[in-house]
Amino acid sequence: MIDNWTFGRKIASGFALALVLLIAIGAVSYRSFAKLATTAEWVTHTHQVLEHISGLYGQLKDAETGQRGYVITGDEAFLEPYQTGSASVANVLKELRQLTADNPNQQKRLDAAEPLIAAKLAELKETIDLRRKGDLDATVKIVKGGEGKRYMDQLRRTLDEMDNEERGLLAQRAEEAETATHSAQSVIIFGTLLCVLLVTAAGILITRSLTRQIGSSVGQIQSSSTELQAAANQQATATKEQATAMSEIGTTISELLATSRQIAESAQRVAQIAGQTAAAARTGDATVATAHDSISNIRKQVDLIVNHMLELGKKSQQIGAVLDIVAELAEQTNILAINATIEAAGASEAGKRFAVVADEIRKLADRVAGSTKEIRGLIEEVRSSVNTTIMTTEGGSKSVDAGARQFSEVAAAFADIAGLVGTTTEAAREIELSTKQQATAVEQVNVAITSAAQATKETEASSGQTLQTAVELSSLSRTLLRIVHPQTASVT
Amino acid sequence: MSTSETRTDADRIHAVAAALRRSFDDGFAAPAISMNESQEGMLAIRVGTDPYALLLSDIMGLYSDVRIIAVPSRVPQFKGIVGLRGMMAPVYDLAALMHYPPAPSTRWMVLAGGARPVGFAFESFEAHLRVPAASAQNGADVREEGGATRQYTRGSVRAAGALRAIIRMDAVMKLMGENTT
């Protein structure tokens, strides 16, 4: 249960226990000493009473001594004890009555002694007066009468009774004082021993509990300080890296700033070039329109060429037909010549001459046939070329059509280009403006990064201090642990 | 075709026409020449895929695109009859007689046989040749792939770019007779 108490509660409990014990011992001791003091006062009181009894008796004896001396000598000088004693008796008696006011027995004895004292003093005064008058005989007579001696004997007995009672009270009170002294000593000794035992036990208990608690806490502090040290190390490292990164960021931001300015300049140039491009696109649009007209003229010319070529193809076919006739004629001529040669072979000498002519005709027919073949080949080539030209021209015509369409598309594209270039110009201007704003923002970022770098440096310094503090805290925790658990601390 | 090529072709045609005109004119201007006895007239033809030569002296005439009237016959080489100059003549497929596959089209025909002329149709007439008589008579026989000589040819002549076996029309007539009997 005590382990759950707080540090202050444990210490307060220890001190409270010690305080309670001190108060108890003090109270008991005070009571004992008060009783002892009372007893001592009563002893002193008894001694005073005894002194006054003895003094009263002594005063009376002095007064009697002076009376006797004067009576005997008649010298006034002997009256000095009488005068002193008789004068003090009343005060002593008064004080004695006050001192014994609490004792009825003594008051009764004083009541009994008081007339005797008065009678004695009167007897003394009478004798002195008689002596002073010179009547020695009467004086001696009175003395010899023994009245005074009886008074003194009665007084002596009364005072002895009072003295005995006081001495009995003195013995009783001395015994009470001794008892009170023993009681006070016992209270002091045993109370102190008990206090020592209880305080020691409480101290051991509290010390163990606090040692355990503080040791555990110090252990935790040491562990935490070690972790704090490691964390501070990491923080210091991270802060250094952060500082390096911030420096790199600063450099990058500077480069970014320069790049932004370059972009702004480039955007400005782009805007200028876009404006020039827009003007060129408008000029190109007009050029394209002119080219479109030219292509339309080309298209008409190509159509004319195609028509001419088709006509040429027809003419070539006609030539081919004529050539077929010529070739057939040549072939028939050749056949006729051969047959004439055959017929001539069976004829006479005139037939032979006919054979010569027939052979010439055959040769001519052969050559015509060969030439016809050659011309046919050429015609075929011409027709092929015409066909190729027509196809090419038609292809060209189609290309021209496509070109015309493409020119229309180009014109539309130029219009689009002009529009897009206008948009591009606007966008380039917006880019220029945005880039300038971006450059301004980057400058602000650069300033912020510089501040952040400064803060990082300060953080780095703070991390160093934190690390130093962590090291000191770790050392302090070890010291505390060494104080709380020397053996544990020496092991660790 | 470029303009320069067209011009070149026209020039060639003009040159050919001029050469023909000049040759024709020269024919009238040149002195009369006699037939050289030492030369033999031949026809260069092609039967199947092989080149052959026919002696003009073995035939009576050359004809093209004649109308052959098909007549039913048991002879597969017989193509029909033809009318020429008021007379009728049977026509045989020369390729079939010479043991070639029948020709798909036979545009040309030669007439042989003397008093009883017979037509022999063939596919292709290439040229009229005049070769020295000696080379026509002394040419070596062209042999079959197995080494046997062809029974309807005799000798050979190199003309019109090929070595041509000379067809013996009498042997062909004999083959025709064997096939028809």
* A352 contact residues in B (CB cutoff 8 A): 34-35
* A343 contact residues in B (CB cutoff 8 A): 61
B60 touching chain A per CB within 8 A: yes
CA-to-CA distance for B61 and B81, rounded, in angstroms? 16
Please answer yes or no on whether B16 and A338 come within 8 Å at the CB atom.
no
Size of interface A-B (CB pairs under 8 A): 71
What is the token pair recorded at B66?
């004649």
* B35 contact residues in A (CB cutoff 8 A): 352, 355-356, 359
* B56 contact residues in A (CB cutoff 8 A): 338, 341-342, 345
What is the token pair recorded at A250?
């600063």
Chain B nearest-CA residue for A379: B9
| More reliable by pLDDT, B181 or B178 | B178
For B87-123, the pLDDT digits (tens) are: 899 999 998 888 888 888 889 999 988 788 999 999 9
Phi, psi of B180 (to 5 degrees): -85, -15
* B59 contact residues in A (CB cutoff 8 A): 342
CA-to-CA distance for A420 and A393, rounded, in angstroms? 37
Strand B68-69: give its sheet, edge to edge: B61-64, B108-112, B118-122, B87-93, B78-84, B68-69
Average pLDDT of span B127-151: 71
Residue A126 corresponds to which amino acid?
A: E
The angle subtended at Cα A443 by Cα A437 and Cα A448, nearest 5°, is 125
Measured in residues, chain B has a length of 181
Chain B nearest-CA residue for A386: B1
- Does position A50 have pLDDT exceeding 60, yes or no? yes
Supply the pLDDT for residue B6. Answer: 62
Strands B87-93 and B118-122: parallel
Helix (H, G, I), strand (E, B) or coil at A61: helix
A324 touching chain B per CB within 8 A: no
Chain B nearest-CA residue for A359: B35
A160 touching chain B per CB within 8 A: no
CA-to-CA distance for A300 and A408, rounded, in angstroms? 17
Q: How many Å is the Cα radius of gyration of chain B?
A: 20
A374 touching chain B per CB within 8 A: yes
Average pLDDT of span B131-137: 76
What is the token pair recorded at A466?
């934190």
Please report, rounded to a whole number, the percentage of residues in chain A having pLDDT higher than 90.
Answer: 1
CA-to-CA distance for A185 and A31, rounded, in angstroms? 12
- Does position A394 have pLDDT exceeding 70, yes or no? yes
The gap between the terminal CA atoms of chain A, to the nearest Å, is: 30
Compare CB distances from A356 to B23, B35, B60 and report the shortest one's residue: B35
For A200-210, the pLDDT digits (tens) are: 888 888 888 87
The angle subtended at Cα A116 by Cα A113 and Cα A120, nearest 5°, is 135
B1 touching chain A per CB within 8 A: yes
A388 touching chain B per CB within 8 A: yes
Average pLDDT of span A144-161: 87
The gap between the terminal CA atoms of chain B, to the nearest Å, is: 62
Residue that has been written with the tokens 């027919």 in this structure? A365
- Whether B80 contacts B68, CB under 8 Å: yes
Strands B153-159 and B162-167: antiparallel
Q: What residues contact A147, with CB distance under 8 A and at least 6 apart? A: A119, A123
Phi, psi of B158 (to 5 degrees): -95, 110
A341 touching chain B per CB within 8 A: yes
Measure CA B14 to chain center: 32
Helix (H, G, I), strand (E, B) or coil at B124: strand
- Does position B36 have pLDDT exceeding 70, yes or no? no
For A402-445, the pLDDT digits (tens) are: 777 777 777 777 777 777 777 877 887 788 788 888 878 888 88
Please report, rounded to a whole number, the percentage of residues in chain A having pLDDT higher than 70.
Answer: 98
* B17 contact residues in A (CB cutoff 8 A): 371
Please answer yes or no on whether B34 and A356 come within 8 Å at the CB atom.
yes
A367 touching chain B per CB within 8 A: yes
Distances from the Cα of A212 to the Cα of A4, A8, A478, angstroms: 12, 15, 15
* B60 contact residues in A (CB cutoff 8 A): 342
Q: Which residues pair with B166 in a beta bridge?
A: B53
Compare CB distances from B128 to A362, A381, A382 and report the shortest one's residue: A362
Chain B nearest-CA residue for A362: B128
What is the token pair recorded at A171?
């013995």
Chain A nearest CA to B1, separation (Å): 5
Please answer yes or no on whether A382 and B1 come within 8 Å at the CB atom.
yes
Closest CA to A422 of A221, A269, A281: A281
Please answer yes or no on whether B16 and A374 come within 8 Å at the CB atom.
yes
- Whether B153 contacts B142, CB under 8 Å: yes
A364 touching chain B per CB within 8 A: yes
Give the pTM: 0.43
The angle subtended at Cα B117 by Cα B114 and Cα B119, nearest 5°, is 135
| More reliable by pLDDT, A332 or B17 | A332
Supply the pLDDT for residue B80. Answer: 93
**CA dihedral sign of residues B47, B60, A372, B65:** negative
Chain A nearest CA to B149, separation (Å): 29
Supply the pLDDT for residue B122. Answer: 93
A331 touching chain B per CB within 8 A: yes
Supply the pLDDT for residue A2. Answer: 64
* A382 contact residues in B (CB cutoff 8 A): 1, 6, 9
CA-to-CA distance for A331 and A340, rounded, in angstroms? 14
